Structure 1
Amino acid sequence: MRLGDAVRLAVGTLTTVPVPAPRVIDRAVAGAAMVLGPVAAVPLAVVAGLIVAGGSALGLPALAVAALSLGAVALGSRGLHLDGLADTADGLGASYDREKALDVMRRGDSGPTGVATLVFTLLVQVGALTGAVTAGHGVAAVVIAVLAGRCTLSMSCARGVPPARPEGLGATVAGSVPVPAAVATGLLAAALAGLGLFGLGWSGVEWSGLGPVAGRLWWRGPVAVAAAYAAAALLLTRCVRRLGGITGDVLGAGVEVAVAAALLVLAPPM
């Protein structure tokens, strides 16, 4: 029953896929939901990959294909992570006073710092994915990046990471994931990304656009996952120091910077 509640919480929170509400939400369920974040995001990654594959097959401009793909991911997650990125940027840029920063984040409206950060991050994501689409491996790039971004949720909610305030999503999930589970999630993500690129590289599947050379560049997948974790970890460290812990907005911001970092690694030709 707890596993079912965790799945429903992960899917219901991170996507627009309609699921019944969890019967119980406690620390164990919250922790499992954060570990299952990438599993819940599989439908988003599949849709994004299909858009890239279809747009490329139709000969649409690479920039438009990249924008449509990432836009679908944003819509499929209710813009939750993008909203968190803007709110976190506004809070960090508003004041060095912890309470004032948290108050700015709680308001929910986007100020100039939040808007600028949002635009910059989206430009990086779309630009990097455009490069991957142009080079012919956009499908692999967007799937790996979307899932890697959600994998970092378990790290941000690992034991020892405190909540910034006593209420909200952050208070529910902060410190709820055992460290071994968070580490295992990252290692598994890196391994699967490498195996995925290796398999596509030697499969001869034309739509992937990878060709045999990608089989020799399987390491690009693990490096992309590592970059995603590094970006999310830097933001997490900054927020814990400035805000005293995490909030739901910080989790969303971590996902978006992780996706951007992974796409940057996967953008160059293979």
Structure 2
Amino acid sequence: MTGRAGDAAAGLRLAFTTLTVLPVRPGRVDRPAAAVAMSVAPLVGAVLGALLGGLLWLLREAGAPTLVAAAVTVAAGALLTRGLHLDGLADTVDALGSYRTGDAALDIMKKPDIGPFGVAAVALALLIQTAAVATAGLLAVVVAWTAGRLAITVACRRGVPPARPQGLGALVAGTVPIPVAATIAAIVVVAAAAAVPGRPWQGPACVVASLSAVVLLVRHAVRRFGGITGDVLGAAVELATTATLIGLSFR
């Protein structure tokens, strides 16, 4: 396939092969495909959320203790994404915690080890997500994981530069037109009204709050690193997912 249809097919494959471990045959990898992939990232999040929501339902129906069911669900979420976003969170927080800028900060992100800031960030994110999922409804899980991947769409909007001339950040940074990002965000915000029965405002408010946090993170990354990297995108995913779950846990 060529043209827009080819870009759409390649982008959808790229989204699933990059953001999940689902058995999707890899396709073309270039900027046009990346633009589609980053735009449909919330769709990938919705699929992951549906799988995790189904797992949570099965565990609860089987009589698993509340925290056990939540912990297994969060662990499954990490496995379905190869822990990619958690790794990005750790590297980003380590770099930000170093108070270094530019190449010096990027060098910290490249290191294979994880510093104390990164360890604390990952541990706290998993702890908070587990506690929130323990009280969440199944649709809340779908919304939270969708919002987490919506963070990628927002972070890759036009005008956001890459921090390095190569790598995932260089491939995807600035690929999503702002009107496309805004339209997709609006769709997710409206759909989030179903997250909490009887409180149609809570889901949209949580998604908007999480996106605001992502925008602040991206701006800070641009100031400190010169742009975004794949690690920054991973951190944005975990930030948005965690923030949305926190908001949806309130009753």
User: Is TM more than 0.5 here?
Assistant: yes
Measured after TM superposition, the shift of residue 247 of structure 1 is 0.1
2:65 is aligned to: 61
2:245 is aligned to: 263
Instruction: Please list every run of 5 or more consecutive structure 1 residues that lacks an aligned counterpart in the other structure.
Output: 198-209
Measured after TM superposition, the shift of residue 49 of structure 1 is 0.3
2:177 is aligned to: 178
1:20 is aligned to: 25
Runs of 4+ aligned residues of structure 1 deviating over 6 Å after TM superposition are none
Equivalent pair of 1:152/1:186 in contact (CA under 8 Å):
no
Determine the C-alpha separation between the residues in 1 that align with 2:182 and 2:241: 18
Determine the C-alpha separation between the residues in 2 that align with 1:116 and 1:37: 27
Measured after TM superposition, the shift of residue 268 of structure 1 is 2.0
From 73, 78, 81, give the equivalent of 2:77: 73
1:223 is aligned to: 205
Determine the C-alpha separation between the residues in 2 that align with 1:224 and 1:17: 28
* 1:176-234, Cα deviation, whole Å (9 max, x unpaired): 1000011111100011111x34xxxxxxxxxxxx7xxx2x3111111121122122122
Matched, 1:34 2:16: no
1:166 is aligned to: 165
From 105, 110, 129, give the equivalent of 2:109: 105
Measured after TM superposition, the shift of residue 238 of structure 1 is 1.3
1:40 maps to amino acid: V
The SS at the match of 1:154 is helix
1:56 maps to amino acid: R
Aligned residues: 246
Equivalent pair of 2:45/2:148 in contact (CA under 8 Å):
no
Instruction: Please list every run of 5 or more consecutive structure 2 residues that lacks an aligned counterpart in the other structure.
Output: 1-5
Equivalent pair of 2:210/2:243 in contact (CA under 8 Å):
yes
* 1:3-57, Cα deviation, whole Å (9 max, x unpaired): 110011000000001222223x332211110011122233321221012111222
From 31, 37, 49, give the equivalent of 1:45: 49
Determine the C-alpha separation between the residues in 2 that align with 1:146 and 1:180: 22
1:6 is aligned to: 11
The SS at the match of 1:41 is helix
From 118, 123, 128, give the equivalent of 1:114: 118
Percent identity of equivalent pairs:
44
Equivalent pair of 2:21/2:81 in contact (CA under 8 Å):
yes
Equivalent pair of 1:41/1:147 in contact (CA under 8 Å):
yes
